[in-house]
Structure 1
Amino acid sequence: MNKNLRYAIVALLLVCCVACEQQDDLNGYDVHHKQSLSKWQEVRGQQGNSYSYHVNFVSWSGFGNTTKITVENGAVTGRTYKAYTRNETTGEREVIGSYVENQATLGSHESGAPLLTINDLYQSCAKDYLVVDKKRNTIYFETDVAGLLQMCGFVPKDCMDDCYAGIRIDSLVWL
C-alpha cells in the first residue's frame, strides 16, 4: 500500500470518528434540551409568563430545604424558603429556618434556590451542566410528562453522598 493511500485512510478514519462523536452529541442531551426548551417556549406563549416553581433538596441524612420561586411577567418577584431536619425520635420533619422575600427584599438571604426564571434555568442547564466531562460525571437531563425541564445536572462518578449539582424542579404552577 502506498504512503498517500495510507494517509488518506487515516484521514478518512479520523473524519469518521469526529462525525460519529458529533452524531453522538446530536443524539444526546443537546437535542433533548433544545426540544424541551422549544416546548417551554410554546407552553409559556400559551399560558403567559407568570408562574411559580418549587425546588427541593433532601439529604440522605434527613435534612433538606424547599424553595418556591415566583415569576410575574417574566421577572422574579418572590422567594419562599423552608429548611428542615428530621426528628430522630418521631421521623417527622421539623422546620429549622424559613423566610419570605418579596420584590423589595429579593436576594436578602443567602440560602435557598437562586433567583432565576425557567428561561434562566434552561440557559444554566446548557452552559453549566450538560457540558461537564462525561467520563468523570454522570449527566442527568429529565423532563416532566409535558416535556418541560425537570432535572438537569450531574454527579461526579467517584462521589458517594449528596453530590448532585444542578437543577431540579419539583413542580410548576401557572399564575
Structure 2
Amino acid sequence: MKLYLSIILLVFLMPYSCSTEVFAPNLLVTGENGYNFVQSQKEWKTLKKRHQDSYRYTVLELSFSGFGSETTVTVIDGKVVSREYEAFQMSEDDGSKEVLNSYFEEGEDIGSHSEGWPAYDMDKMYTECGSDYLMVDPETHTLYFDTTEEGVMTLCGNVPDLCGDDCFEGFSMSEFEWMK
C-alpha cells in the first residue's frame, strides 16, 4: 500500500518539479549590464560580504495612470532596520508629485503597514526573482532582468503577452546603494 501511495504522489508532483526545469533557461536572460540572474546572484554573494551585508534599495511602482509609490528598505549587517513608503500621484500638467500617503517603520514596527514593497533583504529578492518572476513561459511572457554595473540585481519580472496596462509582475529598483 505504501508503494502504491508513493507512486501516486510521485505522479502528481512530477509535473511541478519538471516545470521549473523547463524554465531554467529563463535564469540566463541577460540585462543591459551584461549579467544574467545566475551571474548576478553569484556576484551578489561576493559583494554583500565585501560591504558587510549593508545596503539600501528603493522599489518604484508606477501605473500608466500616474499613480505610483516608492518603498525604501535599509539593511545593516544583514538585518532589515527600516522601511519607508511614499504613495504619490503624478500631475499630467507639469509632472510634479502630489504625496498621498507615507510612513516610516523601524524596529518592531517593520511590516506593520500593508502598503508598499515588503521589507525583504536582497537574498529574499533573489529568491523571489528566481523562483517566481522568471519562472514563467517565455512563449507567453516578456521577461525583464537587469543589474547595476557591478552586477547587483535591480530589475526582475515579466509581462504577459497581449496585456494592456499595468501587467508587470515583479520589481524595479530606482536606487541601490551600499551603506558600508
TM-score by length of structure 2 reads 0.78
One-letter identity of the residue aligned with 1:132: V
How far the C-alpha of 1:78 sits from its partner, in A, is: 0.8
One-letter identity of the residue aligned with 1:25: P
Say if 2:28 is the partner of 1:28.
yes
Q: Deviation digits for residues 116-169 of structure 1, max 9, x if unmatched? A: 001110111110011111121111111121111011110010111111110212
101 and 27 in structure 1: CA distance in 2 versus 1, 3 angstrom threshold: closer
109 and 47 in structure 1: CA distance in 2 versus 1, 3 angstrom threshold: same
> What is the aligned partner in structure 2 of residue 151 from structure 1?
155
27 and 34 in structure 1: CA distance in 2 versus 1, 3 angstrom threshold: closer
> What is the aligned partner in structure 2 of residue 93 from structure 1?
97
1:102 to 106, 115, 126: 106
> What is the aligned partner in structure 2 of residue 12 from structure 1?
none
One-letter identity of the residue aligned with 2:65: S
Say if 2:177 is the partner of 1:173.
yes
> What is the aligned partner in structure 1 of residue 51 from structure 2?
47
- Structure 2 unmatched ranges of 5 or more: 1-20
Among the aligned pairs, what percent are the same residue?
Answer: 36
One-letter identity of the residue aligned with 1:42: T
**Any runs of at least 4 consecutive aligned residues in structure 1 with deviations exceeding 6 A, and if so which?**
none
Q: Tell me the secondary structure at the aligned position of residue 57 of structure 2.
A: strand
Distance between the aligned counterparts of 1:90 and 1:26, measured in 2? Answer: 39
Distance between the aligned counterparts of 1:26 and 1:76, measured in 2? Answer: 29
Greater relative contact order (Cα < 8 A, sep 6+): 2
> What is the aligned partner in structure 1 of residue 11 from structure 2?
none
One-letter identity of the residue aligned with 2:146: E
Map residues 49-128 of structure 1 onto 2, 5 A cutoff. Answer: 49-128=53-132
> What is the aligned partner in structure 2 of residue 161 from structure 1?
165
142 and 91 in structure 1: CA distance in 2 versus 1, 3 angstrom threshold: closer
159 and 26 in structure 1: CA distance in 2 versus 1, 3 angstrom threshold: closer
- Across the two proteins, how many residue pairs are aligned to each other? 154
How far the C-alpha of 1:89 sits from its partner, in A, is: 4.7
How far the C-alpha of 1:67 sits from its partner, in A, is: 0.6
> What is the aligned partner in structure 1 of residue 18 from structure 2?
none
Q: Tell me the secondary structure at the aligned position of residue 154 of structure 1.
A: strand
Give the structure with higher Rg (CA).
1
Larger displacement relative to structure 2 (26-35 or 162-171): 26-35
